[in-house]
Each structure stands twice: as structure tokens, then as C-alpha cells.
Amino acid sequence: MPTVNFDELRQYIDISKGAEQLLSKSEKEITFSLNLYKSDGEILEASTYVIYANVARGPAKGGIRVAPSVTLEETRDLAERMVWKTALSGIPFGGGKSGICLDPKEITRFEKTAMMKEYVHMISLELMSGTYIPAPDLGTGPHDMAVIYGETHLLESVTGKPPRVGGLPGRKEATGRGVAHTAELALTKLLGRKLAGSTVAVQGFGNVGSWTCYFLHKAGAKVVAVSNEYGGIYDEKGLDIEALMSHVRTSPRIEEFGGDTVTNEELLELKVDALVPAAIENQITKDNASAIQAKVIVEGANGPTTKDADAILADRGVLVIPDILANCGGVVASYVEWRKAKSGSITDAKETYQTLMDRIDIGFEQVTSTAKAKKVPHRTAAEILAVFEVIEAMKDRGWV
């Protein structure tokens, strides 16, 4: 099922039946099994999916998710979100995604490296031709991307590599940097507040959540609550984020850091200025949307708010800055890295941050002005802009 409602968007833009037909399903789906024969005689097996949702605007771009819950449907959903995210941010990529159904915590580093090499072998033509460009996602990181580069010997075949292996300084923090910047724009431009002193709760303290907290904390915001899969903590005076990041590097259990404990569910309902769901999808639902007390929700994760919850939040006047705008910093930085690999140019972290903030500034202004002009929620406004761009590209290519 598409992540956007074409019937709703048809009120604002022209969507032909042909365009809807092409956008309602993936362009290409590859499914296979990753198999690894281990020294103990066991065969490690993982169902794997590579999805091209739409490549009208450029090659399929999207990360590799490795998790025991990965499904084909989830991978399709994430690939489609990348189509809208790249279109809204104005970078010349389409949308894609990989999903590997495997628990990365249950395999060794050596086994994971071997699995990543086998992944490359299975889709080597896609990677070598540049039609699909992967990046890190849940369960993968720079080391895994370096393995992909090592197998292809093409710097542009993958993004999110370590800086010493053709990667981009600032890429690791880029998504969180973008989420923090979007939160600042929402607080200052939509709520008329200063970022300094504003209270924020962040669900999820992985790569995106932790760097979001770091940059918000550095800018003077009070990050009062943080959680991860094990639980969370709350301090109305604000948490020491750098100390917490140091703690998590040695122990994943945030509650051991000290302070009042809070569950993931309780964190979502705290009375704060901004709430950042930066964990996994479907966290804000019809069951808890009425209890949300934040003035604005900035989606650091992909799809953290369900459609039913969206309607409830809109009726209550809670602003929601959608994922395809809020967390686009990673893919913008990926474009800079990909462009750097193509040209051989040298880019520093400051330039990376500035580029992604510039793209977010443009997107935020377009979304907020469209929301105001059309009298629609910010998510609908973002979808209007993104779907229009993709359809126009499809027209340019003679697809519709």
C-alpha cells in the first residue's frame, strides 16, 4: 500500500491514472537468500530484499536495514519514503531500500563481514552499474559500507563509508544534525520560541537520536528525556548528553546513567515543547495520540506516526513535521559524498552541515508556505510538493 493518499493529493495536484498506477507499486523487486556456511557446520540464512520504488529522478538511493523484523512490505514502504524524501530535498536520486532479515547482535563481526560480501556478490550488477546506491540504516554502519566498497572498488557505489575510506566528514552525524535543525526551525518559526531553553524529549538513542540530542543540547535546548529499546531516563533540568553518549558506548542501558526512569511509551506523553520520535515506525498511534502533550512532533524516524494518529493530532492542533523533511539530512549528505566520489573534490564536515541545512531550509520554507496556502497539515504539504516533482520527472521521461 502506498504511503501517500493519491485521492487526497489529487485535490491539489494533477495525478493521472497512469502516474498513480506507476507510483502505487515498486519498479523493481529483488528477493534472495543470503547464505553463509559457518565453521561449526551451521548455515546462516537471511531473507533479503532490494527494492527500487521509483527511479524517475535518478538512481535508487536507500540504506541497508539489518534486523530480525525485516519484511518485504517494510522494505517497500521504506523505499517509497526515499522517493519522496529525495524529491522534496531536491537531490537527483530516486528511492530504494535493502532489507536483510537477520539479528546483527547474534552474529560476529567476521560473520557480518562475510554476509555483506555475499550481499555484494548477489547484486553486483546493481552496485557496479550505479543503479542502486546503498548506505547505512538500522543494523549497519560505516564499516559495512567499507566492505561494500572493498568488493566493488568504486567509491561511488556506496555512501556512508568511513571518511578515511572515501567517506564524508560529517556523514555519520548528518541525519541527526538535520533533525536538530528542523526542530529548531519548527520551534522558532512555527511556535515563536527560542531554541535555547526549549524542552525536548527524544525517543531512540541510536545514531539519529543521539546526534539529534547532541546538536540540540549544544544549541542550548533542554533535552529532558531520552530512551532506547531498554528504557529511558528523565530530568526536568536537562540531561548531560555528552556524558550520556559516553555511557552508552560502554553500556546500552540508558537507565543505568542515573535519573528518573521513564518508558518509551511514557516518554511520548511528556509535557515538552518538542517531541522527536527517532526510533522505529508506528510509535504514535490512535491509542496514544490523544495523550501527546508536545506542541510539535519532529519525525526523526521513518514512519513513526500512523495515519490514524495523524488525524487525531491535526484535530488537536499538534504540529507534525514529517519524516521526508525532518530526517532528510542523511540522504543529502549521501548525495554530497556520492558527488565527491565522482569528482574527486575534498569536502569537510562544515561544508556537509551547511549543505544539508541549506536544503532543509529550502524544504521547510516550501512546506510551511504550501501548508498555509492550501490549509493542510505539514505532512500533506510535503507530499504535495514531493509527488508533484516525481510526476513531473516521469512526464519529462515520457513515462506518463
Pairing of strands 231-234, 319-321: unpaired
Strand-pair partners of 199: 222
What's residue 256's pLDDT? Answer: 86
**27-166 falls under which CATH superfamily?**
Leucine Dehydrogenase, chain A, domain 1 (3.40.50.10860)
Cell, residue 174? 548528518
The length of the chain is 400
Tell me the pLDDT tens digit for each residue of 164-193.
Answer: 999 998 888 999 999 999 999 999 999 999
What's residue 38's pLDDT? Answer: 83
313 within 8 A of 305, measured Cβ to Cβ = yes
What is the Rg, in whole angstroms, of the alpha carbon atoms belonging to the chain? 20
54 within 8 A of 76, measured Cβ to Cβ = no
CATH of domain 168-400: 3.40.50.720
Please return the burial class of 306, using the count of CB atoms within 10 Å of its CB with bins 0-12, 13-18 and 19+: middle
Q: Can you say whether the dihedral through the CA atoms of 270, 77, 231, 138 is positive or negative?
A: negative
Please return the burial class of 255, using the count of CB atoms within 10 Å of its CB with bins 0-12, 13-18 and 19+: middle
Strand boundaries in 83-185, DSSP class E: 94-101, 132-133
Query: Cα separation of 385 and 389, whole Å?
Result: 6
Catalytic: which of 97, 161, 172, 222?
97
Q: Residue 167 — φ and ψ, nearest 5°? A: -80, -175
Domain extent listing, the chain: 27-166, 168-400
Cell, residue 107? 552474529
| DSSP secondary structure, 13-52, as one string | S---HHHHHHHTS-SEEEEEEEEEE-TTSPEEEEEEEEEE
Instruction: Name the nearest CA neighbour of 32 among 112, 95, 124, 153.
Output: 124
Residue 213 exposure: Cα atoms within 13 Å on the Cβ side: 27
Query: Cα separation of 358 and 305, whole Å?
Result: 26
Instruction: Name the nearest CA neighbour of 260 among 211, 224, 214, 292.
Output: 224
What's residue 281's pLDDT? Answer: 86
CB atoms within 10 A of CB 248: 18
What's residue 258's pLDDT? Answer: 80
Which residue in the block uniquely carries the three cell numbers 547505512? Answer: 136
Query: Cα separation of 89 and 92, whole Å?
Result: 9
Strand boundaries in 102-191, DSSP class E: 132-133
Residue 97 a catalytic site member = yes
Q: pTM above 0.95?
A: no
Number of H helices, E strands in the chain: 15, 13
Q: Residue 184 — φ and ψ, nearest 5°? A: -65, -45
Q: Which residues of the chain have pLDDT under 50?
A: none
What mean pLDDT, rounded, does the chain reach? Answer: 94
What's residue 1's pLDDT? Answer: 58
What's residue 343's pLDDT? Answer: 85
CB atoms within 10 A of CB 176: 27
| DSSP secondary structure, 340-383, as one string | HHHH-----HHHHHHHHHHHHHHHHHHHHHHHHHHT--HHHHHH
Buried b (16+ CB within 10 A) or exposed e, 205-218: bbbbbbbbbbbbbe
CB atoms within 10 A of CB 229: 14
What's residue 280's pLDDT? Answer: 85
Is 168-400 the same fold as 27-166?
yes
Instruction: Name the nearest CA neighbour of 115 among 47, 209, 189.
Output: 47
